[in-house]
Amino acid sequence: MEAKRNEDVRPRGLGRGLSALIGDEAPVSGLSKAAQDNRALRSLPVAFLQPNPAQPRKHFDETEIAELSDSIRAKGMLQPILVRPITGKQDAFEIVAGERRWRAAQRAKLHEVPVVVRELADDEALELAIVENVQRSDLNPLEEANAYRSLMNQFGYTQDRLASEVGKSRSHVANTLRLIRLPDSVQALIRDGKLSAGHARTLIGAENPEALAKEIIRLELNVRQAEQRSKTKPAKRAKPAKDADIKALEAHLSNFLGLTIEILDHGSAGGELRIHYRTLEQLDGVIQRLKTGNENG
């Protein structure tokens, strides 16, 4: 029942991309299509726009921003930015989708940018921002995974619905979500672009994912090779050979007690004496021998 309620209240246009959102304005009777378009699209000063603090995309590649800025300078901004008014503030709008274009427009020294203004509640704005970013493949794999988690935790999405909304397979969604389980050190390598999502997925469940990640990078392994490495368990280290004197003591005690004796981890700080017995009678015999030895001493 809860899932159905979530479906009913989701904003119109969700899952269809920014172009659909731009066309979501309800038509006004008597206006031509051109007039309708002008009503939906307007220009605002760049300074009126503010980033969304809940923006799922945390990393903006400076090279990509520079390239987009050059394109905007040469051809103008071909796609508007989706914004919503900030309650209680005049001439202030929060970016719902299009922060990268806004950043590039600033670098291109534009004074105004084309926008579509929508009245959206906080949860609607966050949901649209997440879905829009995922659809555009603007997120790195970890940002994408965290975006999926936000949609599931805050808006009750299932993996099936997520896959449908963002146009991905269910297995892609499931595998991406699994990246969040990796250690922070490995996640940092993914964020920095040193480890691809495909490589990272091979580390899930590995005994030492951090060491394996460094090995993948150092040896420049492909995904198949990384997969094989993660399945191969590291060989156990052979125990160092025991000192001849230690072996002689073990043999002497074994003969004296009639049981198997081990002297372990002997060093300057001491060690451990281990007596192997099978029955309480054998243990009682060891105790009696020790008592007899003490009395004789």
Dihedrals φ, ψ of 290, to 5°? -65, -40
Question: Among 1-5, 66-70, 77-81, 235-239, which is the least confidently predicted range?
Answer: 1-5
Print burial letters for 262-275: b (CB count within 10 Å at least 16), e (below 16). ebeeeeeeeeeeee
What mean pLDDT do residues 214-230 have?
Answer: 89
pLDDT at 37 over 50: no
Q: What six digits make up the tokens of 18?
A: 């920014």
pLDDT band at 35 (very low <50, low <70, confident <90, very high): very low
Instruction: Identify the pLDDT of residue 40.
Output: 61
Taking each helix axis as running N to C, give the angle between helix 209-219 and helix 223-231, from 0 to 180 degrees, rounded to the nearest 10: 140
Active site residues: 99
For 87-107, write each residue's pLDDT tens digit: 888 889 999 888 888 999 999
Instruction: Identify the pLDDT of residue 191.
Output: 84
Instruction: Identify the pLDDT of residue 62.
Output: 82
pLDDT band at 20 (very low <50, low <70, confident <90, very high): very low
CB atoms within 10 A of CB 113: 24
CATH number of 2-139: 3.90.1530.30
Q: How far is CA 76 from the centre of its chain?
A: 35
Phi/psi-derived region of residue 167, left when phi > 0, alpha when psi is between -120 and 50, beta in every other case: left
pLDDT band at 9 (very low <50, low <70, confident <90, very high): very low
**So where are the chain's domains?**
2-139, 182-231, 244-296
Closest CA to 18 of 91, 86, 99: 99
